[in-house]
Amino acid sequence: MKIDLCSGYHQTRVAAADQPKTAFRSRFNHYEFTVMPFDLTNAPATFQRAMNDIFRDILEQYVLVYLDDILVYNCTLEEHLRHLRDVLDRLRRHAFYTKLSKCLFAQHKVDFLGHYVSNQSLHMDDAKITAIAEWPAPTSAKQLRNFLGLTSYYCNSIQGYARYSYVLTSTLPWKNPPWAWTPLHEDAFRALKKAVTCAPVLHLPDFDRPFILTTDASDFAVGAVLSQVFPSSSDSSHPRIPRFPPPTPTTASRLTPTRPTTDEPSIDYSPTIVEDGTVESRSGDCPIVFYSRQFLPAEINYTVDEREVLAVVYAAWHWCYYLHGAPFTVHTDNSVVQAFLTTPKLTPRQARWWRDLSEFSFTT
């Protein structure tokens, strides 16, 4: 169930003593807002705090609130009706009113913050996928930044996002860079759009099941995926994401003059594509969320073994809210991670990584 308030800001009263702070003057007269206007610096935080106060005792039990969007989730229709009455009663007591045309009741899947959310899965909004797929090739740095800004919002749903964005972002290191659009950029641009359209359906986590953390590192980036094993997952099917050539030496030298060209970490979660073009349903190891990032210039100079360990450190702390306090399994293609945990002599940098990993309980 999704509830949308009707002009939520304008349903929030401004204290009489603070109304002069909202004053403005036109050619007709001098006016002051009696309700909270849009575009105030603290308006989003004020409104969010008001919503949190209203639903504080039931937040994350069966209610999620983001500004004027209220999401109510249930397991049965009886719970749905009971929770619906509770939420609407709270809104009525505090004089907040909803817009019926934008509310959805008794739904198995709803659109929330640019994603479709169901009882088991999470995937990108179809309208956003279409917008990205139809995005024309940028002709300026500003257009490229707009494109990357939209796609980066969905980086948790895109396998190996840094693999595609690396080539594109490497053209934007300065405030006013000279515009250059090469065939390599065009390949990366097309591959990123393809990755978005082929983004997998993510499975919602089950905290009664152990997590699996799979990591890999290349010379310029780290990739990771958090997954769990489920008996079956018909929604978690997706076509194979094509790879594109690694950066040329000229592009790679923009970050470090000594880095050799290499391929991006390959963490393959693609199912089999059968002859008729359809995708077989996957079962077993299902992705919960993806993560990737480029190495900093100093990190590129680390040894191969250090980058492999750093990939685990980055991924574990990035998902610490999932992994803290519960045992999980780390999958990596390099045995150095297991040896690292028992190495008696470590450099100061490696000792800090050992300290960070010691807060987790995992096996490799």
% of the chain residues with pLDDT over 90: 2
The domain ranges of the chain are: 2-107, 124-363
Out of 69-83, 238-252, 285-299, which region has the weakest mean confidence (pLDDT)? 238-252
The pLDDT confidence band at residue 282, using thresholds 50, 70 and 90, is very low
pLDDT of residue 256: 34
pLDDT digits (tens, 9 = 90+) for 351-360: 888 888 888 8
pLDDT value, residue 342: 76
Q: How confident is the model at residue 234 (pLDDT cuts 50, 70, 90)?
A: very low
Are 244 and 191 in contact, with CB atoms under 8 Å apart?
A: yes
Q: At what angle do helices 161-169 and 141-152 cross, to 10 degrees?
A: 160
The Cα–Cα gap between 50 and 44 comes to 10
CA distance 1 to 341: 46
Residue entry with tokens 């719970």:
79
Mean pLDDT value across the chain: 79
Q: How many C-beta atoms surround the C-beta of residue 82 within 10 A?
A: 13
Which pair of structure tokens corresponds to residue 92? 């009525």
CATH architecture of structural domain 2-107 = 2-Layer Sandwich (3.30)
- Beta bridge mates, 53: none
Is residue 273 very low, low, confident or very high in pLDDT (cuts 50, 70, 90)? very low
> Mean of the pLDDT values across residues 203-228?
87
State the pLDDT at residue 248.
44
d(CA 207, CA 204): 10
Q: What number of other Cβ atoms are within 10 A of residue 45's Cβ?
A: 10
**Is 126 a residue whose pLDDT tops 70?**
yes
pLDDT at 284 (0 to 100):
64
CA 196 to chain centre: 13
pLDDT for 239 equals: 36
Q: What is the pLDDT of residues 93-116, one digit of tens each?
A: 888 888 888 888 888 888 888 888
User: Which backbone phi and psi does 294 adopt, to 5 degrees?
Assistant: -80, 150
Nearest to 71 by CA among 157, 153, 154, 4: 4
Q: Name every residue whose Cβ is closer than 8 Å to that of residue 85 and which is 6 or more positions away in sequence.
A: none
Q: What is the pLDDT of residue 232?
A: 59
Average pLDDT over residues 131-144: 88
Residue 282 sits at the vertex; the CA angle it makes with 129 and 263, to the nearest 5 degrees, is 65
Lowest mean pLDDT among 42-46, 296-300, 306-310, 337-341: 337-341
Q: Which of 71-85, 182-196, 242-256, 317-331 has the lowest mean pLDDT?
A: 242-256
Mean pLDDT of 179-198: 86
Residues 346 and 101: their CA atoms lie apart, in Å, by 62
- Residues 123, 203 contacting (CB under 8 angstroms): no
Token duo for residue 146: 């707009």
Cβ atoms of 211 and 226 within 8 Å: the answer is yes
Q: Taking every pair of C-alpha atoms in the chain, what is the biggest distance, in angstroms?
A: 79
Q: What's the rounded Cα separation, in Å, for the pair 7 and 125?
A: 23
Specify the pLDDT at position 174.
67
The phi and psi torsions of 36 (rounded to 5 degrees) equal -70, 120
**Pair of tokens at residue 196:** 């978005």
Pairing of strands 69-72, 202-203: unpaired
Least confident range from 52-56, 147-151, 167-171: namely 167-171
Q: Do 9 and 35 form a contact (C-beta atoms < 8 A)?
A: yes
Strands 328-331 and 211-217: parallel
